[in-house]
């Protein structure tokens, strides 16, 4: 029987992160599930023993929280094989309608939080794991490679992450046996989708023919009807769960020699 992999998941209390955490546990692997509100994982703690599930409070916008999460994972399980960097959220609104403070706060999570989790993961894989190695999986978005109206700052945060991780992957020594993957997901039905921030529309953007008006109208209607927004996230995590098993992934690599993978792959589920 193979040794269970140890996963550290950010944003594990809802959405894609919650789906992945549940799948990891069902498959018999070990989950270090982190969230701003770890009490939202109490139902899983009733089902799974502490030898398989460790729930940790983590706000990825706080570097000390990140350091502490990896330290607790090391103490509990001795290693981390996969980091599923998923924490993030979106802001819906025209660029001119989005307050700078809100955009900066989102960047602290979506970009700086993911960047610091990534740096901590690579360092841990190299310095703490014996033998060294590991897989960093970043949950990005299709709007990180193809911007859409009403998602300007969210797109910008994902574009920034894409660029950083492409560079990061190309810098690593292949002898470290470390892989980096960015997964650009489309729209999925998760609680996080319903929490996309919607401020007041900018008064200049009021023509019914403008794309931002159409998007606001569609999102408002879906919220009012309680209809699912997007695809089933469980199908996405089923695909992503197997990523660490592949010697190479069906994706674009920054260097054929490095064995390090930077995936720009849209999951079709």
Q: Which residues are catalytic?
A: 140, 154, 158
Cα–Cα distance for residue pair 147/5, rounded to 1 Å:
35
Alpha helices (runs of H) in the chain, residue ranges in sequence order? 15-26, 42-47, 63-77, 100-107, 114-127, 152-171, 191-194, 211-225, 233-241
Q: How far is CA 121 from CA 30, 39, 69, 143, in A?
A: 16, 24, 11, 25
209's tokens:
């023919």
199 near 243, Cβ under 8 Å? no
CA distances, 137 to each of 43, 52, 115 (Å) = 26, 20, 12
3-state secondary structure of 138: strand
Is 55:38 a contact under the CB 8 Å cutoff? yes
């Amino acid at each position: 029987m193979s040794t269970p992999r140890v996963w550290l998941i950010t944003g594990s209390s809802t959405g894609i992160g919650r789906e992945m955490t549940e799948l990891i546990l069902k498959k018999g692997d070990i989950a270090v599930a982190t969230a701003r509100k770890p009490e939202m994982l109490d139902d899983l703690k009733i089902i799974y023993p502490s030898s398989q599930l460790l729930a940790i409070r983590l706000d990825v916008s706080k570097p000390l929280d990140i350091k502490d999460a990896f330290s607790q994972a090391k103490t509990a399980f001795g290693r981390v094989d996969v980091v599923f960097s998923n924490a993030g959220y979106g802001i819906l609104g025209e660029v001119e309608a989005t307050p700078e403070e809100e955009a900066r706060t989102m960047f602290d999570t979506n970009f700086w939080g993911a960047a610091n989790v990534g740096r901590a993961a690579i360092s841990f894989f190299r310095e703490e794991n014996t033998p060294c190695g590991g897989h960093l999986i970043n949950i990005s978005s299709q709007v990180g490679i193809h911007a859409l109206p009403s998602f300007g700052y969210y797109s910008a945060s994902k574009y920034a992450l894409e660029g950083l991780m492409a560079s990061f992957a190309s810098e690593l020594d292949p002898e470290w046996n470390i892989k980096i993957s960015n997964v650009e997901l489309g729209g999925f039905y998760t609680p996080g989708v319903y929490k996309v921030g919607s401020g007041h529309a900018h008064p200049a953007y009021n023509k019914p023919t403008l794309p931002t008006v159409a998007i606001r109208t569609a999102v408002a209607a879906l919220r009012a009807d309680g209809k699912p927004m997007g695809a089933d996230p469980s199908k996405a995590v089923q695909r992503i769960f197997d990523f660490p098993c592949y010697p190479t992934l069906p994706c674009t690599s920054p260097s054929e020699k490095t064995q390090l993978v930077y995936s720009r792959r849209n999951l079709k589920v």
